[in-house]
Amino acid sequence: MDLSESTLRDRAREYAAAEPLYDVERQHVETVPKTFAGEEYGRRDAQWIVRWYFRRYLGEYPDRERREREEAFRDNEFDDVIDAIEAAADAVGVKNADPPDVDAALDALTALDGVDVAVASGFCQFLAPSRFVAIDRRTWAVLVAAGELDGDYPDPPSTADYRRFDDACRAVTDRTGVDAWTLYRALWRSFEELLEGTS
C-alpha cells in the first residue's frame, strides 16, 4: 500500500468525489473548531459527531449498537457535554494549546456516556481537523498494510492504542506534507483498494 503524497492527495480527491457524506463533513471541518471554541452551540452540534462516527459506514455498522451509543450520548446532561468538549478543545489546541494533550482530550470525552476512545477520536478529528485522524478499523488496516503500524485493530481501542495510531498518522503527515483531514479521507478511500486486493 503506497502512502506517498501524490497517492494520498489522489485518494482524498476520490473521497470528495465519491463519498456521500463528504459535503456535510467538509462543512463541519470548517465550522466545528470555531463553534466549539465559542459558547454558542447546542446539543445537536455535539450529537452530530457521535452520529457521524457510526453512520459514515452507510449501514455496515451494526444498527443496534449504533442506536444504543447514540441514545446513551443523548442521555448525558448537556452541561457535562459542554464541560467535556471545552476540556477536549483546550487539550487538542482549538484555543492554541501546544503541544496537544491527547490523553486529556480522550479522558474528558470518554467520561461521557456513549463515548469510547474511538468516538472521542472523532471529536478530536473535528475539533482539530488539520491535526487528528479518527481511529477505526478501516484507517487502522490501511496503515498496517502500508507498514506504518502493526497488529490487529484493537476492539475497542484504548488510549494507548490511539496514541500509537496517532503517532503513525503523524509520521505520514510529517513525511508527505498533507494535513490530517486529507490523510483521513485518503485512508478511508484506500480501504476500498485494500479490499479489492484481498478478494
In degrees and rounded to multiples of 5, residue 132 shows phi and psi of: -120, 150
Kindly report the number of other CB atoms within 10 A of residue 119's CB atom: 23
The structure's pTM equals: 0.94
Q: With a cut of 50, say whether residue 23 has pLDDT above it.
A: yes
Write the pLDDT tens digit of every residue in 125-141. Answer: 999 999 999 999 999 99
Q: What is the pLDDT of residue 94?
A: 66
CA dist 173 and 27 (Å) reads 22
Q: What is the pLDDT of residue 120?
A: 98
Average pLDDT, the chain: 93
CA dist 74 and 155 (Å) reads 23
CA dist 57 and 51 (Å) reads 11
| Structural domains in the chain (count) | 1
CA dist 23 and 160 (Å) reads 32
Q: Percent of the chain, pLDDT > 70? A: 95
Residue 4's H or E segment, with its range, is none
Q: With a cut of 80, say whether residue 198 has pLDDT above it.
A: no
CB neighbour list of residue 56: distance below 8 Å, 6 or more residues apart: 21, 25
Range of the domain at 54: 5-198
Average pLDDT over residues 26-34: 93
Write the pLDDT tens digit of every residue in 81-120. Answer: 999 999 999 999 765 556 899 999 999 999 999 999 999 9
Q: What is the pLDDT of residue 199?
A: 39
Q: What is the pLDDT of residue 95?
A: 59
